[in-house]
Structure 1
Amino acid sequence: MTLITRPLSDPFGPVALRDVGAGAPLVLIHGVGMQSAAWTPQIEALSKTHRVIALDLPGHGGSAPLPAQSGLPVYVRWLDAVLDALELGPVALAGHSMGALIAAGFAVTSPDRVSRVALVNGVYRRDQTARDAVIARAAVIGEGAFDLDTPLDRWFSDSRADQVARAQVAGWLSSVDIDGYAMAYRAFAHGDATYADRFATIHCPLLALTGDEDANSTPAMARAMAKAAQNGQAVIIDGHRHMVNLTAPEAVTNALRDWLARPATGEIA
């Protein structure tokens, strides 16, 4: 899976991406501190039936950073510029964590460009305690402090599968640009309610998926997102935390396959 770059319109610089397979387009957006390779199990499986395009977030991997102090709406506009550059019509759109916030915002603001949306380990209307904690972490990161073990301890258990995935994720976190990481984390910390009031306008099939042990992207959040949308479905994977697409890759891939096969309209069975 070769990483390629594409130029974007101003004020966005080049975007790096992986473009694999053929068929209906499926766009994947990773979370803060990661890169497009974090979707490797899903890219390998789903590119057999779809054109899978996995993006590096701005300031991550090979993608250019956004202008200083960019909030979540700027990341959403960045995604619009990416789809323009790739000349893509309606796409299936899946995001993990920060990527889920971007995907949800795009589904709200550009519904004609989204055929379906999947929110993996997404956040939605944090309570005050959780909001205060994540904003405090964003402030520390913004000052240049980078604690590798703290997020890894939240995201992974001591199981063997989790520890294998932890080593992969530690490598990506260790190589991320601190400025790009800090800006994305700030947008993530402040963005959980940005588009929450408009979920009722999402009419395409929406999947909200998380692990039952994810303390920050909770099952309650996933169920609330699914309930708020017109055609939503929640999937909770037992025994897993925040990086569920890596620790339970087959379960996540199967859920995404089911989501991709769901009718564009109609009630959930």
Structure 2
Amino acid sequence: MRARVETVRIDGLPVRLHTAAPAGRVHDDLAPTVILVHGIGMSHRSFARSQRALAAEHRTVSVDLPGFGGLPAAGRRLGMDELGDLVVRAVRERGAGDLVLVGQSMGTQVVVEAARQHPDAVTAVVLVSPVVAAGRRLTVLQAVDLGRDGFVEGFRMNAVLVTDYLRSVRQYVRELRPMLRYRLEDTIAELRQPVLVVRGSEDPIARHDWSVRVAAAARRGTFAELPGPHHVQERQPVAFARLAADFLRMQTLEGLR
């Protein structure tokens, strides 16, 4: 399955969209559209396998944020509120209707902000390996946790990590402070949408107690755990896709009651 790739500029900032859908039906009115947002230093490649699994049933769009995935650096720091707004505006400019937002690592902060700012566009939120845990909002602590995660990630994901980081180092440095300062546990309480929090059982970054706390802070939060590391969506792409699909079906059934 080959994705359609296009770059959209919002307020002068580039956002690259990788769209894949069942049988290539990227223009159909499939609803909702599942939007995949990567973490700091990463790109759409961190969702490559899980996007293929999700695209068997849903129209999906994997995003490259400004300064990441080979896109030019923004030249300034972008807050999570600005990144969240950029994501929604970019995908809606290309025709997407109702959105389900899936964020991984720093992407969880981005999609929570997107859902907070655009409640009428976003129907549900999935947070994979949420960051940054309270009590670990220091660069040195995050570096230690990231190093530990490298020992449990597979060869492919470690290769993606290294090459994506090298491509995005300028924007990475700028986004580190906003990511560390963002209090996900506070903002998520403002969301009206249902939220699924997914954690890998071997994840040293999004630890179990913290991830449960994030889910509990949501008005309509659910917690689930799969075997795997920080990028559990790639270690368990089919299981993750089934978990997300079951979550969406459950929300649809509740909406019909």
Determine if the TM-score, normalized by the shorter chain, exceeds 0.5: yes
The superposition leaves residues 54-79 of structure 1 with CA deviations (integer Å, 9 ceiling, x where unpaired) of: 00011011434335122222212222
Q: Which residue, 34, 46, 53 being the options, matches 2:42?
A: 34
1:132 alignment partner in structure 2: 138
Counterpart contact for 2:66–2:74, Cα < 8 Å:
yes
Counterpart contact for 1:205–1:263, Cα < 8 Å:
yes
**Percentage identity across paired residues of the two chains:** 24
Deviation at 1:205, TM superposition (A): 2.2
Q: Which residue, 88, 99, 103 being the options, matches 1:91?
A: 99
Counterpart contact for 1:124–1:196, Cα < 8 Å:
no
Counterpart contact for 2:14–2:65, Cα < 8 Å:
no
1:157 alignment partner in structure 2: 151
For 1:106-185, what aligned pairs fall within 5 Å after superposition?
Answer: 106-123=114-131, 126-127=134-135, 130-133=136-139, 153-157=147-151, 162-174=154-166, 176-185=167-176
Counterpart contact for 2:8–2:14, Cα < 8 Å:
yes
Counterpart contact for 1:124–1:225, Cα < 8 Å:
no
Matched, 1:188 2:165: no
1:250 alignment partner in structure 2: 238
Range that drifts further, 222-231 or 256-265:
256-265
Range that drifts further, 77-86 or 31-40:
77-86
The superposition leaves residues 33-52 of structure 1 with CA deviations (integer Å, 9 ceiling, x where unpaired) of: 11112211111111121111
For 1:48-67, what aligned pairs fall within 5 Å after superposition?
Answer: 48-67=56-75
2:8 alignment partner in structure 1: 7
Distance 2:14 2:210 in 1: 33
1:144 alignment partner in structure 2: none
Aligned length: 246
C-alpha RMSD of matched pairs (Å): 2.6
Moved over 6 A (4+): none
The superposition leaves residues 104-142 of structure 1 with CA deviations (integer Å, 9 ceiling, x where unpaired) of: 111122211111100001125511xx11245886xxxxx
Distance 2:59 2:162 in 1: 28
Identify unmatched segments of 5+ residues in structure 2. none
Matched, 1:215 2:215: no
Matched, 1:262 2:250: yes
Q: CA distance change for structure 1 residues 83 and 168 in 2, over 3 Å: closer, same or farther?
A: closer
| Secondary structure of 1:258 counterpart | helix
Distance 2:142 2:219 in 1: 34
Counterpart contact for 1:6–1:85, Cα < 8 Å:
no
TM-score (norm 1): 0.81
